[in-house]
């Protein structure tokens, strides 16, 4: 069970009384300890990392490297050396995509899904164009499950999967949890099925939404690369993680070049350090990494079961309230089975644009996302111009849902 006073650890609630923040899928609120850790770095030991041999520099390096240990523990990595510190999920996925392009043949295929965030769709679309290889996109059903899953969404239909994944499939990129549908896909089973059909396929998982809700055990997942962002787990923006299997990281060439990632530079040739430093050219977001370490340990204070239970109860309460208050006026996206949903609800009014809905809610300090949620192909799939998304986190309450429902009644009156 989550602590009843957990909101006290987020200073924004004291600064903005009455705030109803329902946009954690875009970015979570920041815990006080994270802010303190970043400020301490800037005011007490601000120095570059991996370079100086004076005490401040060594302290900064130790704090920066501690982030790898904190994240490795959070996602059950076998070693901190599997943790590449990036600018976020987008940066991690682009790192892999750019590095893999020269290795992809024209006869091969890149596969992704229609429900992907643009950060896990566009990089692979562009990689396929540069490699001049086939680009395949798996559709999604109305219930929010990918078309390669069984009717109840509990297992992989390998017959359907084999229509997209063959021995020619070089990359499979998939989100562990859609930021729009919220439907819980059986991602572990999917990765295993992909590897059975195409053992040499590189599987890249966008775990930006999954880490704060369901958690991720990278050893059990079986993917080659997993990316997520610190700002989704109550940490800073502009920093994140690319986890890579050791073998996969060893084979992956660097896609950015500069200071720190080199072992030896000469006019004739340059050699590189071993992972993860091989992929971290230049001065990193040091304060962000230090804040990320604190955020990872903060999230680790709570069990994934308790977080999921808390957010699922809010989702159930929200969906019931939407159905009772608006019936056929609102369409809810994704599966109607709350047990198979994550902590978000996307919906749209039949007679009101999502942007208008969000603006009216904002008048009462209710923050929701309106638009495509960086998932335009998914919205096009269902012929929806835009949707409203209410996403929940550990600091949300039933009162927040009540305020949302009251705000939506006001929307109906105004529009």
Nearest to 348 by CA among 322, 377, 378: 322
Rounded Cα distance between 297 and 144, Å, is 32
Phi, psi of 298 (to 5 degrees): -65, -50
3-state helix, strand, coil in the chain (%, to 5): 45, 15, 40
Rounded Cα distance between 215 and 74, Å, is 8
pLDDT digits (tens, 9 = 90+) for 81-129: 999 999 999 999 999 999 999 999 999 999 999 999 999 999 999 999 9
Locate tokens 């996969």: which residue?
A: 248
pTM: 0.97
Q: Residue 336: what pLDDT?
A: 87
**Nearby residues of 341 by Cβ (< 8 Å), 6 or more positions away:** 182, 183, 184, 312, 315, 334, 335
Q: In what order do the strands lie in the sheet with 240-244?
A: 83-86, 240-244, 225-229, 202-206, 169-175, 109-113, 134-138
The alpha carbon of 93 is separated from its chain's Cα centroid by a whole number of angstroms, namely 11
Catalytic residue among 133, 201, 367, 374: 374
Rounded Cα distance between 239 and 285, Å, is 7
Rounded Cα distance between 103 and 85, Å, is 23
pLDDT digits (tens, 9 = 90+) for 7-30: 999 999 999 999 999 999 999 999
Locate tokens 């602590």: which residue?
A: 3
Question: Bridge-partner residues for 264, per DSSP?
Answer: 271
> Three-class SS of residue 69?
helix
- Return the H-helix or E-strand segment holding 155: none
Q: Where residue 415 falls among pLDDT bands split at 50, 70, 90?
A: confident
Q: Residue 356: what pLDDT?
A: 97
Q: Residue 306: what pLDDT?
A: 96
pLDDT digits (tens, 9 = 90+) for 308-325: 999 999 999 999 999 999
Locate tokens 């997520």: which residue?
A: 228
Rounded Cα distance between 92 and 205, Å, is 10
CA atoms within 13 A on the CB side of 65: 13
Which tokens go with 161? 């999967």
- Domains defined along the chain, listed by start: 6-23+303-414 (3.90.1150.10), 45-299 (3.40.640.10)
- Given a cut of 90, is residue 247 above it in pLDDT? yes
pLDDT digits (tens, 9 = 90+) for 176-222: 999 999 999 999 999 999 999 999 999 999 999 999 999 999 999 99
Give yes or no: 374 in active site: yes
Rounded Cα distance between 329 and 278, Å, is 53
Which tokens go with 331? 């369409």
Name the CA radius of gyration of the chain, rounded. Answer: 22
pLDDT digits (tens, 9 = 90+) for 287-308: 999 999 999 999 999 999 999 9
CA atoms within 13 A on the CB side of 189: 14
Q: Residue 149: what pLDDT?
A: 96
Q: Where residue 1 falls among pLDDT bands split at 50, 70, 90?
A: confident
Rounded Cα distance between 49 and 85, Å, is 13
Is there a contact between 55 and 209 (Cβ–Cβ < 8 Å)? no
Q: Residue 61: what pLDDT?
A: 98
Which tokens go with 197? 């059909």
Nearest to 11 by CA among 40, 39, 34: 34
pLDDT digits (tens, 9 = 90+) for 148-164: 999 999 999 999 999 99
pLDDT digits (tens, 9 = 90+) for 29-66: 999 999 999 999 999 999 999 989 999 999 999 999 99
pLDDT digits (tens, 9 = 90+) for 133-153: 999 999 999 999 999 999 999
């Amino acid at each position: 069970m989550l602590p009843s006073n957990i909101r006290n650890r987020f200073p924004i609630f004291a600064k903005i009384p009455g705030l109803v923040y329902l946009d954690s899928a875009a970015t979570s609120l920041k815990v006080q300890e994270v802010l303190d850790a970043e400020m301490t770095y800037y005011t007490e030991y601000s120095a570059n990392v991996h370079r100086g041999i004076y005490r401040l520099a060594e302290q900064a390096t130790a704090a920066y490297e501690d982030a790898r240990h904190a994240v490795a523990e959070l996602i059950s990595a076998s070693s901190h050396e599997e943790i590449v510190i990036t600018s976020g999920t987008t940066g991690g996925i682009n790192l892999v995509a750019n590095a893999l392009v020269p290795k992809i043949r024209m006869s091969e295929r890149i596969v992704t899904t229609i429900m992907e965030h643009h950060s896990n769709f566009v990089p692979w679309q562009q990689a396929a164009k540069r490699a001049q290889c086939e680009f395949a996109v798996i559709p999604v059903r109305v219930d929010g499950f990918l078309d390669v899953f069984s009717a109840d969404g509990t297992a992989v239909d390998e017959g359907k999967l084999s229509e997209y994944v063959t021995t020619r499939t070089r990359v499979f990129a998939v989100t562990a949890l859609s930021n729009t549908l919220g439907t819980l896909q059986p991602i572990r089973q999917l990765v295993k099925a992909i590897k059975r059909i195409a053992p040499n396929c590189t599987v890249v998982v966008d775990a930006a939404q999954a880490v704060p809700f369901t958690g991720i055990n990278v050893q059990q997942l079986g993917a080659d690369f997993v990316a997520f962002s610190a700002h989704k787990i109550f940490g800073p923006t502009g920093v994140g993680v690319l986890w890579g299997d050791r073998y996969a990281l060893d084979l992956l060439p660097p896609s950015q070049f500069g200071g720190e990632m080199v072992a030896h530079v000469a006019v004739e040739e340059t050699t590189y350090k071993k992972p993860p430093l091989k992929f971290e050219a230049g001065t990193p977001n040091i304060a962000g990494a230090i804040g990320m370490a604190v955020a990872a340990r903060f999230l680790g204070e709570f069990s994934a079961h308790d977080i999921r239970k808390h957010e699922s109860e809010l989702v159930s309460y929200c969906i019931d309230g939407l159905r009772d208050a608006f019936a056929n006026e609102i369409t809810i996206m994704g599966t109607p089975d709350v047990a198979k949903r994550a902590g978000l609800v996307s919906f749209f009014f039949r007679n009101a644009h999502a942007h208008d809905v969000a603006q009216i809610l904002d008048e009462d300090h209710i923050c929701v996302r309106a638009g495509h949620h960086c998932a335009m192909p998914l919205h096009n799939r269902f012929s929806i111009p835009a949707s409203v998304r209410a996403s929940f986190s550990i600091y949300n309450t039933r009162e927040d849902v009540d305020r949302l429902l009251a705000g939506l009644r006001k929307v109906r009156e105004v529009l």
